[in-house]
Amino acid sequence: VQLQASGGGLVQAGGSLRLSCAASGRTFSSYNMGWFRQAPGKEREFVAAISWSGDWLYYADSVKGRFTISRDNAKNTVYLQMNNLKPEDTALHYCAAARRPITTMTSVDYWGRGTQVTVSS
């Protein structure tokens, strides 16, 4: 599975962005998908995950109520809608795919290249 993330950019605090991650391959619908992020000088951290069917969602406490993960299996794409962005959300955001439920980096089978999100105060 090859993953290509897009949609990052520069936004003011309180603003919104929608990240997309397009996957190649015919088995996308069988993978659990997730988003992670890494800020400068910090470790990569979990953000959100969605099951292959879309009926199981999981979020980091820091983004609950502000971010929404979703997927369109017909388009081989997973999304991350980010609202009420804060400067601490500034990071390189990565999408991920796994056969197992995604909650940590060790559960990930495939990584995409990151897309930069920068939130100004």
Question: DSSP states of 22-82 as a string?
Answer: EE-STTGGGSEEEEEEE-TTS--EEEEEE-TTS--EEE-TTTTTTEEEEEETTTTEEEEEE
pLDDT digits (tens, 9 = 90+) for 69-109: 999 999 999 999 999 999 999 999 999 999 999 988 999 99
Location of structure tokens 């400068």: 40
pLDDT mean over 1-26: 95
pLDDT score of 43 = 96
pLDDT score of 103 = 85
Cβ atoms of 113 and 4 within 8 Å: the answer is yes
